[in-house]
Structure 1
Amino acid sequence: MNWILNYAWAIIWAILMCVLMFMPATELPSGNYFCGSDKMVHCGSFYLLTTLMLFGSAIQTKRRAVKMKTMSIVFFIAILFVAITELGQMYFTSTRQADWWDVFADMVGIGMALFSFLLFYSPRAQYQ
């Protein structure tokens, strides 16, 4: 039960992402402010999701998480979420479609979050 509190922000963000990704395209704002704005939204949303999962992992382990193990687990969970959302858009919505460029943008966001974690995470500072 404690892990739900530690990962609460990641869970809330994942639910919000699912709602927005499966919402009919006609109910969303046009969003084409400039070329590629949709891909930036994908990249940013998966960057935030991955960062929140990494943050939850750091809290869960009281900042004693092993970097590579944590990064590997979060990477596979994020990839699974990418697959679920894109396949869901392909098979369960009529106004949305799966796109390989969306998958690429999602992967870039995940990679950016993992790289940030690799650079900035320090297990030395302990939570009390």
Structure 2
Amino acid sequence: MNLLKNKWFILAILWLGAAIWGLIFRETSPNHAPMFPHFDKVAHCLLFFGQFWLLARAFLAAKKPVPYGVLWGFALVMAVGTEWAQATFTHSRQADFWDGVADMLGATIALMLAHHAHKIWTRQATEIKAE
């Protein structure tokens, strides 16, 4: 798979960069009230959903098998690593077990959706060829 020509992989890299610099390590102000209770958990879930949907989509677009287990393992490493990094490199944020759970929930939903989408797309392609 030529990753530099795969728009989904490029989007995944851009998404990761934006997440690292703009969302994960950004200091929060004490006056900043969340939009609603547990807003941060929703943000973590959506962040990881987007990241792992784009990665899975890169494999699907290249017509390569999606390494679901490897991607899920990478999500786990990322979840633990980002929580550790927040606690280590920021002053206003701390590691939170439930943020990690939200991260993994987002990644799991994305990978399950990718698996389901692959099955549908494969079935549709088979039906078109049969006609």
Give the TM-score range, shorter chain. Answer: 0.7 to 0.9
Structure 1 partner of 2:76: 79
The 8 Å contact of residues 87 and 94 in structure 2, kept in 1 or not, is answered as yes
Structure 2 partner of 1:11: 13
> Structure 1's 112 and 94: CA in aligned 2 closer, same or farther, altered over 3 A?
same
TM-score, scaled to structure 2:
0.80
Tell me by how many angstroms 1:100 deviates: 0.5
Structure 1: stretches of 5+ with no match in the other structure? none
The one-character-per-residue Cα deviations of 1:1-29 (angstroms, maximum 9, x if unpaired) are 931342111111011110121111129x9
The 8 Å contact of residues 31 and 37 in structure 1, kept in 2 or not, is answered as no
Tell me by how many angstroms 1:31 deviates: 5.5
The 8 Å contact of residues 42 and 106 in structure 1, kept in 2 or not, is answered as yes
The 8 Å contact of residues 31 and 38 in structure 1, kept in 2 or not, is answered as no
Structure 2: stretches of 5+ with no match in the other structure? 127-131
The amino acid of 1:2's aligned partner reads N
TM-score, scaled to structure 1:
0.81
The 8 Å contact of residues 57 and 114 in structure 2, kept in 1 or not, is answered as no
The amino acid of 1:32's aligned partner reads P
Structure 2 partner of 1:98: 95
SS at match of 2:73: helix
The amino acid of 2:34's aligned partner reads N
For 2:94 and 2:107, the matched residues in 1 are separated by 21
Structure 2 partner of 1:2: 2
For 2:25 and 2:80, the matched residues in 1 are separated by 13
Matched, 1:121 2:118: yes
Structure 2 partner of 1:36: 38
Please identify, of 80-89 and 96-105, the stretch whose mean Cα deviation from structure 2 is larger.
80-89
For 1:71 and 1:30, the matched residues in 2 are separated by 37
Structure 2 partner of 1:26: 29
Largest Rg, 1 or 2? 2
SS at match of 2:29: helix
For 1:107 and 1:2, the matched residues in 2 are separated by 28
Runs of 4+ in 1 over 4 A off after TM superposition: none
